[in-house]
Chain A
Amino acid sequence: MPGKTNPLIYIVVVLLALLFFYPFWVLFLIAFVPTRFTFGLIYPLQFPLEITLSNIVNSFYQVDLLGPLIRSLEVAFIVGGLALLLGIPAGYGIAKLTTRISNRIIAFLFIINMMPGLVIAIPISLYFYSAHLENTVLGVALAQELVVLPLTVFIIMGGFRSLPRDLENQARVDGAPLSSTFARILLPLVRVPILIAFILSWMTSWDEFTYAFIVAPIVPTDSTFPVALYNYVTRDLPLQSATFALVATIPVIILVVVFQKYLKGQYLSGGLIG
């Protein structure tokens, strides 16, 4: 039997949860409560006296919500897919090196995440311009790949590293070519790290602003949703922004709820050996 948990813990948990959920609650109020109870009051009501869908419906008519959302989805899936396409072979390869060397390579990869995004984004955007990648879905995705790839490689490498080396040897002895070894044994065994890497890449891309803004800034309707959201906020459209933000949260919440049992430290630590 575990020891009795201090009831104070529960109180703290509830308070923290309230703190974290409050912004979301405000978004909810703005999106679903008639404006006369929110923007219409100096001290907006904190409880929904009345629920309406008209805010959301109107927002969809007034601004282009769907365009940026679809674009964001496209970008996020390309980023996630590309992250796996590059991250799986890279993670496999790095996991085969000695820990000393592989940890250095990983640290080296993370340098990109230590630099301010703008420092990298601006030179990249110049190259993208000459490569006709500016204002394109692929361009944004490629730029964002920079941010997600180190973590992807790290997580997937951890997955491969946690497998006994003899499994692969056994497969070779059993006559399996590398492709079958991968498809039938290695990939199924590292599916959880791969899934996590995909989700994290997807969510990072979904929320990413700097690269998206610099690589695809010009036409707001061609930008991803964070950039579009920025546009609406700066154009003083709080209602649309709130609706937009709420809609944008939904896929993230779904992903987190569905895969929450995998989002644990043991998978994120990348099998680091001290």
Chain B
Amino acid sequence: MNVKMKYENVYKYYRSSKILNKLDLEIYDGEFLVVLGPSGTGKTTLLRVTVGIEDLTAGKIIMDGVDISKLPPNKRNIAMVFQNYALYPNMTAYQNIAFPLKMARKPRSEIRKKVSEISETLKIAEVLEKNVTLLSGGQKQRVALARALVRDPKIFLLDEPLSNLDARVRVVARTELKKIQKELGHTFVYVTHDQSEAGSLSDRVAILRSGRIEQIGTYEELLDEPSSTWVGDFIGDHPMNFIDGEKFGLPKGTIGFRDSWATIGDGEISGTVELCQLGEESYHIQCSLGSSESVQGTDFVDEDNSSQISASTTDFLRSTVGVRSSKKYAVGERIRFHLEKFNLYDSDGKLIESVKSK
């Protein structure tokens, strides 16, 4: 895969706070890269330094082999859709979309042709003559997208463009966005804190943490093999469950596992094992385990009992546990978990090994 854009040792400080802190990243040509991270980790700043409306404190951004980090925004040929769309409120949708072309001094006939093409693609042809302040959220989002797409830039940056839409429109818009990206074959960098967007849109996901890339890979890779306990905890619908490896005779490490088979979330602590009920899906059973006495010594056994991991930690068991099973459990019953797949982390939280049991 060709590298379209490369960040080398990128730093961005605001006064004393380090927003981007030694960030390195490669973006491939034509990929849909989602930058995922909790708020305040520098996601938006990453886009802003890329497009050039903020200067780098140090480092380089290289696009198509050329260092663009010192160029002004209008020389970079990078398009960006801001979170609030930043549509020009004094213009119609048409004028908004045509604006970048006008600035590039394209002939009027070409502008008209391109605007009508892109608005056909995005299904906004019928609102072109309306003032943008009169459009619905979804239409605004498409106009903003059209304005970015129309000028044929080298790369597209999108800053949580779906976050202002209501839930139903968002899901539709997400599908369409992915479709458009695949059809046009453009490189998209999409910033979000929404994991489901990351999962459904991305070719690859880059996890941003404290101003640097913590891990990059497909969403499935990140789910299966988080490179650190932090990523494991952050990514996925449920955080990864961790148990202290010393309990299993491992030197200073942690075992992490996810709900591919069993989930242990940090649910509320209740006094006793008092509730077992069917979850939303029939094979999901949620059990509240509370009293440490009654469940201590619970075994973690794989299916054929070949390797047995014994855990007697009370912290671990004071959690809500989701188990995939057709069996009903009685209160006070001992539960056995099958760890289909788990990861071993060292004491600093870095991945040592990803283990799949048979």
The interface of chain A, by Cβ under 8 A from chain B, is: 164, 166-167, 169-177, 180, 184-185, 188-189
Contacts and interface: CB of A to CB of B under 8 A. Distances in A.
B88 interface: yes
B88 A173 contact: no
Contact of A172 (B73, B84, B88): B73
Contacts of A175: 73-74, 100, 103-104, 151
Contacts of B72: 172
Interface in B2-48: 48
Contacts of A172: 52-53, 72-74
Contacts of A180: 103
B80 A176 contact: no
Given A164-B84, A185-B88, A173 B103 contact: no
Given A173-B51, A173-B79, A166 B74 contact: no
A173 B90 contact: no
A176 B86 contact: no
B316 interface: no
Interface string B87-124: 01110000000011001100000000000000000000
Q: Which 6 residue pairs of A and B lie closest in terms of their CB atoms, listed nearest first? A: A170-B86, A174-B100, A175-B103, A175-B74, A166-B86, A172-B73
A169 B100 contact: no
B60 interface: no
Contacts of B51: 173
Given A166-B84, A172-B52, A174-B99, 4 more contacts: A170-B88, A175-B74, A175-B103, A176-B74
A188 B48 CA distance: 26
Given A175-B74, A176-B74, A177-B74, A169 B99 contact: no
B74 A167 contact: no
B329 interface: no
B162 to A, nearest CB: 17
Contact of A189 (B53, B73, B90, B147): B90
Given A175-B74, A189-B89, A189-B90, A169 B53 contact: yes
Given A172-B53, A176-B74, A188 B86 contact: no
Contacts of B52: 172-173
Contacts of A185: 88, 90
B104 to A, nearest CB: 6
Nearest to B72: A172
A170 B82 contact: yes
A172 B88 CA distance: 12
Most buried by A among B51, B78, B103, B104: B103
Interface string B237-256: 00000000000000000000
Contacts of A173: 51-53, 73-74, 78-80
B305 to A, nearest CB: 60
Nearest to B157: A173
A175 B151 CA distance: 10
A176 B95 CA distance: 14
A175 B74 CA distance: 4
A160 to B, nearest CB: 14
Given A173-B51, A173-B73, A175-B104, A167 B88 contact: yes
Given A169-B53, A169-B86, A185-B90, A174 B103 contact: yes
Given A166-B84, A174-B147, A188 B90 contact: yes
A98 to B, nearest CB: 12
Nearest to A187: B90
B103 A167 contact: no
Contacts of B74: 172-177
A172 B82 CA distance: 12
A83 to B, nearest CB: 23
B233 to A, nearest CB: 32
Contacts of B103: 174-177, 180
Contacts of B104: 175
A20 to B, nearest CB: 37
15 contacts: A164-B86, A169-B48, A169-B53, A169-B82, A170-B82, A170-B88, A171-B99, A172-B53, A173-B51, A173-B52, A173-B78, A174-B147, A174-B151, A185-B90, A188-B90
Contacts of A174: 74, 99-100, 103, 147, 151
B168 to A, nearest CB: 26
A175 B106 CA distance: 12
Interface in B258-315: none
A213 to B, nearest CB: 43
Most buried by A among B72, B79, B80, B151: B80
A174 B89 CA distance: 15
Contacts of A166: 82, 84, 86
A30 to B, nearest CB: 47
B106 to A, nearest CB: 11
A188 B84 CA distance: 20
B141 to A, nearest CB: 14
Nearest to B100: A174
A273 B292 CA distance: 55
Nearest to A163: B89
A188 B89 CA distance: 10
Contacts of B100: 174-175
A185 B80 CA distance: 18
A176 B82 contact: no
Contacts of A164: 84, 86
A172 B103 CA distance: 10
